[in-house]
Structure 1
Amino acid sequence: MIQIQDFSLQQEIAPIWRLAFRSMFLAASVFSILAMLYWVLFLNGYALLPMILPTNVWHGHEMIFGFVATVAIGFLLTASQTWTGLRSIHGRPLMVLFLLWFIARVALFLSINEIIFYIGLLAEFSFWSYSIGFLAYLLIKSGNQRNLLFIPLLTIMLVLNLSILLSGKLGEILLAKHLMNTAVLVFTMLVTLLGGRVIPFFTRNGLKNVGLEVKNNNAPTWVEVITPILTFISVLAFFGDYFVDLGRFIAGLFSLCAILQLIRLVYWQGYKTFRVPLLWSLHLSYFMLPVGLFVMALSFYNSQLLFSDALHLITIGTMALMILAMMSRVSLGHTGRPLHIDSIIAWAYMCIFMAGVVRVSLPLFGEHQIAWVMSGLLWSFGFGIFVFRYTPILLKARVDGAIG
């Protein structure tokens, strides 16, 4: 149980440092906008910083780890307080964690020489080690074995993270890209695990609040058991494809995973959520996962459909949209506010969804440049809305006076 004296001590801490979701959500969102705008300028020949990392490796790494992983860690370090009943990271330790993240982002962007690059690498390693260690401490101390699986999952991400940076620095561009794609697929494991836990639960509670009764929207046990296992096998097979050609086999695994994910969605009854943006955004983002898996499977048979383009259905349509949906929900719930969003946030959801559709569809017609620009601008506008609307919420104390 959280100690009662923490309530008085909390008043001495600025709200932004009271739980990890506040600083991580806000900083990651702002960073994603700046990084995306720089990438769009680079692709159009208007920006070129002579960093050690190839710019395409920097872009992929930072969107996966500087943005997506940062939000995921902020969420896990926040949720762990609920899971364990122990006070999660806050105050000065959280400031240190944020500083490590910030140093990593700046150093990797300005890595014009090896010294700056290795400062960024060390900061990145320290940020991840600190986060994983603190989360493991809370879970082990509380005996929360159910969520211990996140520790090896995050550790795999840490290894991929550092391997991508070192591969890019050493000029192994193809390996770095393959590891980045693998990292995205590892994140589908996280989406599969967390989505199966929270989306049916959120759907039942959210629909009940608008007068719709959902008695049982959980998928069958066999689906819930096989889906993460098959997803993990798919990730391993894809990783191994760099060393042994497994192309058609991987396409089959992706197709099977997509079918299982669609079965889950049907049972979750997302078709009833159209009146609740906080719910349909989650279902829509999860729907883009099987769509992305199917399209990635097709890319093994159609040379005009690039795997890297298809992957953006997941990186944008699933990961970015689910992040935006979860951030807007968690930011309200963990600041003691009602789970109700303004219509402008619903438009932000659609901006991110359309960013994914545009990024993948226009290149099929040869319009790569337009796709990059439109997708980047839609992304920036969508997350810009979140920053504009939620900055006051994240900087203010909980309205109910509770911890966090």
Structure 2
Amino acid sequence: MMQIDIQDKAMKITPIWRLAFRPFFLFGSLLALVAIPLWLASFFGMLQLNPVGGTLFWHGHEMIFGFGSAIIVGFLLTAVQNWTGLIGLRGAPLAALFALWLAARLAMLFTGDLPLLAVVLNFAFPVAAASIMAGYVIKVRQWRNLIFTPILCGLGFVSALSSWLASSGDFVLAMGSLHSGMILVVLVMSVIGGRVIPFFTSRSTDFERNDLPAWTEKAAIASLAGLAALSVFGLDSYPLATAALAAASLVFNGYRFLSWGGAHSFRNPLLWSLHLAWAFIPLGLLLLVIHSFTASVSLSMVLHSFGVGGMASLVLAMLARVTLGHTGRPLTPPKAMPWAFALILSAGLCRIFASLLPAFYLPLLLVTGILWSLAFIIFLSNYGKMLVTARADGRAG
């Protein structure tokens, strides 16, 4: 009877507020689609914007703490229902958390002369999500998943700190906070990727996963956490320490990655998209090691390997699979989605080469924006309706 009551109550909720992945995947993707063309229009002098910290800072901040944090929170507050067996965040509480995220995005874009509101909201959203996540995990004593609480709090801290510093004119330290936020997102991708990519691969292919020693996973996470802490001061502030941590993280995360069955994935777009996207993380770590010793590799190459190649590509691959599963559909992506995966992966490569080839910087920057936008247009045109309508199998969620 209790299960029937729960189902009946859930079905009365408007579909978009039935689980966290729905609003955050939808509007996080919309932000990705809108923000890049806005920034490019501003960069090429076609549009005047007055965001907190200026357009360049706003671009970096919103990709990490707007787009990235929306997808992370949407994924975690959906997955925690499966991890703990408790009913996930839904209804009015979910709408309130989403409103906090949306208010922070609007404040960043429109309150350039009054940044305090943006600072407060940038801190409040990830910390509120962390508190909700911790509540689920602590209730069932699932300590393994408590790792996401300090990570989300860390995102809130550096998001608020960076926006405050940028609004105060201290752009060097503000960019350092952005670097830390990017590495924290990489840390989340490392933890989640290590759980789901080999699992998805083994379920869909003849790949048999061999569990790695526990210390390998811990070392991969610890080295990235140390890098995130150090990078609050900027990835260029302590080059030798940065290189050491990046090299350690490259070794441990690269070793994990090679054990995930990537060679078995190339017949399934929902798999090869995950493996190729995640490959940008060890690539970014390698570029960071090289950057620490030579100017031939710019910090922009490092950050965009993590951000466009890694974060955006992995987000699109995860959204495509998770949305199908949680809306009661077969794990067969729409026919256009492999093109979206190829476009966003190509955008990652183009953005790296834009920094590597200064003579072609502007055209490659424009091509990157076009590829990025087309990828998210394809995703939203195929998945937007799924995210705002009831599950295909008639269940709640």
Moved more, 102-111 or 167-176: 102-111
- Find the aligned partners of 1:300 and 1:263 in 2 and give their Cα distance: 22
List aligned pairs for 1:62-101, cutoff 5 A.
62-101=62-101
Moved more, 2-11 or 93-102: 2-11
Q: 1:293 aligns with which of 281, 285, 292?
A: 285
1:397 lines up with 2:390 in the alignment: yes
Q: 2:197 aligns with which of 181, 196, 199?
A: 199
Equivalence for 1:363: 355
- Find the aligned partners of 2:200 and 2:210 in 1 and give their Cα distance: 11
Contact 2:125/2:156, CA 8 A, preserved across alignment = no
- Find the aligned partners of 1:187 and 1:148 in 2 and give their Cα distance: 16
- Find the aligned partners of 1:79 and 1:283 in 2 and give their Cα distance: 20
- Measured after TM superposition, the shift of residue 222 of structure 1 is 3.8
After superposition, the CA RMSD in angstroms is: 1.9
Contact 1:309/1:360, CA 8 A, preserved across alignment = yes
- What amino acid sits opposite 1:384 in the alignment? I
- Find the aligned partners of 2:233 and 2:14 in 1 and give their Cα distance: 47
- Find the aligned partners of 1:256 and 1:358 in 2 and give their Cα distance: 27
Equivalence for 1:246: 238
- Measured after TM superposition, the shift of residue 297 of structure 1 is 1.5
With over 3 angstroms needed to count, the CA separation of the structure-2 counterparts of 1:235 and 1:330, relative to structure 1, is same
Equivalence for 1:147: 145
- Measured after TM superposition, the shift of residue 307 of structure 1 is 0.8
- What amino acid sits opposite 2:368 in the alignment? S
Equivalence for 2:18: 18
Identity %: 34
Equivalence for 1:383: 376
- Find the aligned partners of 2:52 and 2:309 in 1 and give their Cα distance: 30
Q: 2:168 aligns with which of 167, 170, 179?
A: 170
With over 3 angstroms needed to count, the CA separation of the structure-2 counterparts of 1:37 and 1:11, relative to structure 1, is same
Match of 1:387, SS state, is helix
Equivalence for 2:220: 227
- What number of residue pairs does the alignment pair up? 396
Match of 1:214, SS state, is coil
- Find the aligned partners of 1:342 and 1:131 in 2 and give their Cα distance: 31
Moved over 4 A (4+): none
For residues 256-315 of structure 1, give each alpha carbon's deviation from its aligned partner in whole angstroms, at most 9, with x where no partner exists: 322322221221110111001111111111111111111121122332321122220111
- What amino acid sits opposite 1:218 in the alignment? D
With over 3 angstroms needed to count, the CA separation of the structure-2 counterparts of 1:399 and 1:50, relative to structure 1, is closer
- Measured after TM superposition, the shift of residue 2 of structure 1 is 8.0
Match of 2:296, SS state, is coil
Moved more, 346-355 or 49-58: 49-58
- Find the aligned partners of 1:177 and 1:35 in 2 and give their Cα distance: 19
Contact 1:200/1:218, CA 8 A, preserved across alignment = no
Contact 1:219/1:263, CA 8 A, preserved across alignment = no
- What amino acid sits opposite 1:180 in the alignment? L
Contact 1:204/1:217, CA 8 A, preserved across alignment = no
- Find the aligned partners of 1:359 and 1:245 in 2 and give their Cα distance: 24
- Find the aligned partners of 2:220 and 2:156 in 1 and give their Cα distance: 24
Moved more, 250-259 or 94-103: 250-259
Q: 1:374 aligns with which of 360, 367, 370?
A: 367
- Find the aligned partners of 1:215 and 1:113 in 2 and give their Cα distance: 56
1:345 lines up with 2:337 in the alignment: yes
Match of 1:343, SS state, is coil
- Measured after TM superposition, the shift of residue 121 of structure 1 is 3.1
- Find the aligned partners of 1:30 and 1:324 in 2 and give their Cα distance: 12
Q: 2:317 aligns with which of 320, 325, 339?
A: 325
Contact 2:18/2:90, CA 8 A, preserved across alignment = yes
Contact 1:2/1:85, CA 8 A, preserved across alignment = no
List aligned pairs for 1:113-128, cutoff 5 A.
113-114=113-114, 117-128=115-126
With over 3 angstroms needed to count, the CA separation of the structure-2 counterparts of 1:257 and 1:51, relative to structure 1, is closer
Match of 1:377, SS state, is helix
Equivalence for 1:304: 296
Contact 1:15/1:395, CA 8 A, preserved across alignment = yes
Q: Normalized against structure 2, the TM-score is what?
A: 0.95
For residues 83-128 of structure 1, give each alpha carbon's deviation from its aligned partner in whole angstroms, at most 9, with x where no partner exists: 11111111111111222222221121111431xx333333333322
- Find the aligned partners of 1:290 and 1:141 in 2 and give their Cα distance: 35
Match of 1:268, SS state, is coil
- Find the aligned partners of 1:291 and 1:72 in 2 and give their Cα distance: 22
Match of 1:339, SS state, is coil
Match of 2:50, SS state, is coil
- Measured after TM superposition, the shift of residue 329 of structure 1 is 0.7
Equivalence for 2:32: 32
Match of 2:331, SS state, is coil
- Find the aligned partners of 1:336 and 1:65 in 2 and give their Cα distance: 29
- Find the aligned partners of 1:234 and 1:368 in 2 and give their Cα distance: 29
Match of 1:400, SS state, is coil
Match of 1:403, SS state, is coil
For residues 18-63 of structure 1, give each alpha carbon's deviation from its aligned partner in whole angstroms, at most 9, with x where no partner exists: 0010010000101111110011111111112233422111111111
Long gaps (5+) in structure 1: 208-212
Match of 2:336, SS state, is helix
- What amino acid sits opposite 1:21 in the alignment? F
